[in-house]
Chain A
């Protein structure tokens, strides 16, 4: 998985609680991404980052925030989790000038 780890790998939480997912890379790649994968929708981009403290919204950013204080870490926060945010979340990385993205193993989140 190209030196990308995600934590936790599985999480069950209750509606209304805050949740933070962590993506950690050892590749020193500049670009990082958060996607969610749902049946019938494929992968959809939530947020992405061009570099430290440089982030932007993707297609489905409502209800999510991100932070990137270090090159190697990209955090995804659900401020108040809802059942519609039950999904599998994938982190990906890429390098400038390289179109290929490398994906982490994913985090399964269940919001009850």
Chain B
């Protein structure tokens, strides 16, 4: 069954604004990852946050994780037209051995459109 659920399903903002996407999941995790998918392409890893971390930054990306609420958020600051894509959260399970060996469970994604 689907582990992560992104919210909103679609988001349209003006270039330069910040975009926030949320993800909720159901079971314990070792880590949570965010991936981006441009139309017709494969997924690209953006950032990983471990279960013992609360916040992580990478360039214009900021990810938070609240394990008590089983939720995460992805913030993209100063959005650009090139950020237009679908964004997915993905989790592994705390019972797994780590290293992603057993595969990831993806949410349904948020489609982000940046208006020029």
Contact = CB atoms under 8 A, between A and B. Distances in A.
B103 A45 contact: yes
Contacts of B45: 100-102
Interface in A78-112: 90, 92, 94-106
Contact of A43 (B1, B44, B101, B106): B106
A33 interface: yes
B98 interface: yes
A90 B105 CA distance: 14
B33 A100 contact: yes
A31 B109 CA distance: 24
A41 B64 CA distance: 24
B103 A1 contact: no
A58 interface: yes
A104 B45 CA distance: 12
Contacts of A98: 99-100
Interface string A6-45: 0000000000000000000000000101010000111111
Interface residues of B, number: 29
B88 A43 contact: yes
A99 B103 contact: no
A99 B106 contact: no
B13 interface: no
B104 interface: yes
B42 A1 contact: yes
A48 B90 CA distance: 16
Given A42-B107, A43-B43, A104-B42, A97 B99 contact: yes
Interface of B: 1-2, 4, 30-31, 33, 35, 40-45, 48, 88, 90, 92, 98-109
